[in-house]
Amino acid sequence: MWLPAEVITTAPPQVLVSVSKRSFKRAVDRNNLKRFMREAYRLNKHRLTEADGGHPIGLLAIIYTGKEKKPFALVEKKLISGLERLLTEPFVAPATKDRKKRP
């Protein structure tokens, strides 16, 4: 999930990392998964910051939706594929509303 930046940029976006309490009751499990996701992002954020022409991402949410813990290698692989999809997906700027002022 992501929100666009005001302009195309090469700066890294702000990142939110989340793991559902419903799926993982123990805090230690949630914290380990969040640590995996933060580390995978840290190792691969260069894919966004070094993209040709910059990227349109201002805010990025990384949400773990699985029901069981996965190894770091798989978490990193999925994060890389998500970042690549973000960069190859065509960006459509939100439409601006032209509102006429009423007298």
Instruction: Evaluate whether residue 19 is within a structural domain.
Output: yes
Name the residue among 91, 9, 4 with its Cα closest to residue 54: 9
- pLDDT value at position 7? 83
Instruction: Evaluate whether residue 101 is within a structural domain.
Output: no
Place 102 in a pLDDT band, splitting at 50, 70 and 90: low
Place 44 in a pLDDT band, splitting at 50, 70 and 90: very high
Q: How far apart are CA 75 and CA 69, in angstroms?
A: 9
Task: Phi first, then psi: give them for residue 47, nearest 5 degrees.
Answer: -65, -30
Q: How far apart are CA 64 and CA 61, in angstroms?
A: 10
Q: Which domain holds residue 21?
A: 2-87
- pLDDT value at position 103? 58
Helix (H) or strand (E) holding 21: none
Instruction: Evaluate whether residue 97 is within a structural domain.
Output: no
Instruction: Evaluate whether residue 61 is within a structural domain.
Output: yes
Q: How far apart are CA 35 and CA 19, in angstroms?
A: 10
